Chain A
Amino acid sequence: MSRSYPPTYKKVINISMLTLTGLAALLVVSVLLFILGYLVWNGARSLNLNFFTKLPVPAGQEGGGMANAIVGSGKLLLLASAIGIPIGVLGGIYLAEFGKGPFSFAVRYTTDLLNGVPSIVIGIFVYSLIVLPQHHFSTFAGGVALGIMMIPIALRSTDEFLRAVPNTLREGGLALGASKAQTVLTIIIPAAMQGIVTGIMLNLARVAGETAPLLFTALGNQFWSPGWNGPSASLPVVIFNYAISPYEDWHRQAWAAGFVLLMGIFLTNIVARLLVSGRRSPARS
């Protein structure tokens, strides 16, 4: 019997466990490839020009598109950005440049809490905050719900990227006689701009697919929704409604919508990561 170390059984365990970890990684990655492949295959087949230009048709009829849902999603994201980005970015600037002591600890902690709130609970909150007093569902309420979801991520990513700016830049600015505000606005923020923009793009990609907060706020709509006060269609909600419907043609359209949504989200993600390639990626969760 050989007396060499490690003994054979250890070598066998070594090889088999290492192989298992490799298989686990392969399994996870292949799920992604499968999802991507399946959606491209099913979605691209179901996609045509009507999808982007026509309104939905009543159940049972062939054809129609989701022009209103695409525009609706765009409007919701616009409103969400108008709410979530300024508050999040400014709050992030506070934490990184001004904040210290128990208050900034409280802000950080609450931000993490808010980030962890299930999206359906945000939906209920905005329903109770806006829909109930107004007595109607609206694009506005949907945008607010998505906006609230954007705040914590925007805040944490801005905070993180500002902190990554070397302190010597701050000292340099102050040494030249600039005020704190001038230093932050003209030196620190431009230095972290790329990172902040990336954070915002990832943030948008995340809320673009949110469905649960829109169910009781923007609701859904078969038609165009002019202005901000009516219920509005959105891509994720339409996918949900079409997927659980019994109609073959609606399923086909759900695949097309899923394909469009996923491609938009993936492209945004890829572009955003390329922007900061080499740097640390911002906190996602």
Chain B
Amino acid sequence: MASTATTPPPSLVVKDAREKLSLFERLKKGDEATFLVTFASALSIIVVTCLLVQHLWIDSVLSRHAFGWKFLHTSTWDPVADQYGALPFIYGTVVTSFLALLLAVPVGIGAAIFLAELAPRRLSNVLTFMIELLAAVPSVIYGLLGIFVLLPILRDYVVPPLQKTLGFLPIFKGAFYGVSYFSAACVLAIMIVPFIVSISREVLLAVPQAQREAMMALGATKWDVTWKSVVPYAQRGMIGSVFLALARALGETMAVTMVIGNVPAIHASLLSPGYTIAAVIANEFTEATGDLYISALIELALVLFAVTMIINAIARLLLLGMKSQETTH
């Protein structure tokens, strides 16, 4: 080949050198290798989640085909006759979770307002740290305390006056043995309060100072400033924290299993024993015999998975909106 023997300008030399890196040199720089390894790890998250959905779906096929949608709205749970209807568990899960929210939301939001708006920063940090420690207590320990501490307290000090004053309501009728929807809701409320407090506090702290000053300048009281100016601003994020707490409550297993009484029936009274989806899986799965029985339990897990996914997604959307609001100000 005829060479023209002209040396190319220096910039081109550099470019050529980069293109002609040997395989060994490229490996030594490690960009591709690092990218591939980290990419594979990130991909494995998606793979694991897909596998999870696939396994739940396939393993519940027997029950899904045998009962169809009837599974969700019939209430016979009879392993002997191989009849499975999940309504008592769905009812129990919904009742305990919403009752827990009813108890936890006012306290949690109140505490968050105190920590974000009133308490001096240092005290607020210490208290928040303690409340976050509460979130680190394992659920089995809540169950242990539930059985041996909360149940006796409810039986001796809380339920008798409750029945005396509100006993005419159907939700407070009947004998109280300790284990009940109400006890489970109390334990759940204690477990989810830390989530509501710590997220709501963060959201409240992100409210711009001008929002407070504007109303303060008009002569409003501290409470009016907080309630009419700061809380509405942070509302979305606070609702997000409640949804996150709800998802926790729905999926909570051990503590609920230990205090709900494990009776697969629907009772109108909150003081009677019941069952939740997570609790029935925990109790019956290892002892389940027969493919249809196991398949029905796995379908319960699928239902629980689907519901918590939806609620989590709503919570994330609400909190996501909150964050973008922060950055635009």
The answer to whether A93 touches B38, judged by C-beta atoms less than 8 angstroms apart, is: yes
Task: Give Cα A110 to B144, complex, Å.
Answer: 33
Q: A209-B140, A285-B244 are in contact. Are A117 and B308 (CB under 8 A)?
A: yes
The answer to whether A120 touches B145, judged by C-beta atoms less than 8 angstroms apart, is: no
Looking at chain A's contact residues, is the secondary structure mostly helix, strand, loop, or mixed? helix
Task: Give Cα A72 to B220, complex, Å.
Answer: 60
User: What B residues does A202 contact at CB under 8 A?
Assistant: 136
The answer to whether B312 touches A116, judged by C-beta atoms less than 8 angstroms apart, is: yes
A185 interfacial by beta-carbon distance below 8 Å: yes
The answer to whether B139 touches A32, judged by C-beta atoms less than 8 angstroms apart, is: no
User: What B residues does A95 contact at CB under 8 A?
Assistant: 42
User: What B residues does A127 contact at CB under 8 A?
Assistant: 285
User: What B residues does A121 contact at CB under 8 A?
Assistant: 52, 56, 251, 301, 304-305
A152 interfacial by beta-carbon distance below 8 Å: yes
User: What A residues does B318 contact at CB under 8 A?
Assistant: none
**Could you tell me the distance in whole angstroms from the C-beta of B299 to the nearest C-beta in chain A?**
10
**Could you tell me the distance in whole angstroms from the C-beta of A177 to the nearest C-beta in chain B?**
10
The answer to whether A91 touches B38, judged by C-beta atoms less than 8 angstroms apart, is: yes
A11 interfacial by beta-carbon distance below 8 Å: yes
Interface string of A118-139 (1 = CB under 8 A from B): 1111101101110000000000
User: What A residues does B286 contact at CB under 8 A?
Assistant: 215-216, 219
A172 interfacial by beta-carbon distance below 8 Å: no
Q: A17-B223, A35-B145 are in contact. Are A113 and B114 (CB under 8 A)?
A: no
The residue in chain B whose Cβ has the minimal distance to the Cβ of A13 is: B223
The answer to whether B136 touches A265, judged by C-beta atoms less than 8 angstroms apart, is: yes
B247 interfacial by beta-carbon distance below 8 Å: yes
A20 interfacial by beta-carbon distance below 8 Å: yes
The answer to whether A116 touches B308, judged by C-beta atoms less than 8 angstroms apart, is: yes
The answer to whether B195 touches A129, judged by C-beta atoms less than 8 angstroms apart, is: no
Q: Which residues of B, 24-44, contact A by the 8 Å Cβ criterion?
A: 29-31, 33-35, 37-44
The answer to whether A120 touches B281, judged by C-beta atoms less than 8 angstroms apart, is: yes
The answer to whether A124 touches B42, judged by C-beta atoms less than 8 angstroms apart, is: no
The answer to whether B305 touches A118, judged by C-beta atoms less than 8 angstroms apart, is: yes
The answer to whether A90 touches B38, judged by C-beta atoms less than 8 angstroms apart, is: yes
User: What B residues does A273 contact at CB under 8 A?
Assistant: 129
Q: A90-B41, A212-B253, A216-B286 are in contact. Are A35 and B147 (CB under 8 A)?
A: no
User: What A residues does B135 contact at CB under 8 A?
Assistant: 284
The residue in chain A whose Cβ has the minimal distance to the Cβ of B197 is: A28
The residue in chain B whose Cβ has the minimal distance to the Cβ of A266 is: B133
Task: Give Cα A112 to B298, complex, Å.
Answer: 22
**Could you tell me the distance in whole angstroms from the C-beta of B13 to the nearest C-beta in chain A?**
16
**Could you tell me the distance in whole angstroms from the C-beta of B57 to the nearest C-beta in chain A?**
11
Interface string of A10-33 (1 = CB under 8 A from B): 110110011011111101110111
- Residue ranges of A at the interface with B (Cβ–Cβ < 8 Å): 5-6, 10-11, 13-14, 17-18, 20-25, 27-29, 31-33, 35, 38-39, 86-91, 93-95, 97-99, 103-104, 106-107, 109-114, 116-122, 124-125, 127-129, 148, 151-152, 155, 179-182, 184-185, 202, 205-206, 208-212, 215-216, 219, 236, 239-240, 243-244, 251, 254-255, 258, 261-262, 265-266, 269-270, 273, 281, 284-285
A-B contact pairs, 30 of them (CB 8 A): A14-B223, A18-B114, A24-B114, A25-B110, A33-B130, A88-B41, A90-B40, A90-B41, A98-B34, A107-B46, A110-B49, A112-B316, A114-B45, A118-B252, A120-B253, A124-B285, A124-B301, A180-B34, A205-B136, A209-B139, A211-B138, A212-B253, A240-B254, A244-B147, A258-B141, A262-B138, A273-B129, A281-B132, A284-B132, A285-B199
- Residue ranges of B at the interface with A (Cβ–Cβ < 8 Å): 29-31, 33-35, 37-46, 48-49, 51-52, 55-56, 59, 106-111, 113-115, 117-119, 127, 129-141, 143-145, 147-149, 190, 193-195, 197-199, 219-224, 227, 244, 247, 250-254, 258, 278, 281-282, 285-286, 297-298, 301, 304-305, 308-309, 312-313, 316
Give 8 nearest A-B pairs by CB, closest first. Answer: A209-B138, A118-B251, A24-B110, A94-B38, A90-B41, A181-B30, A116-B312, A14-B221
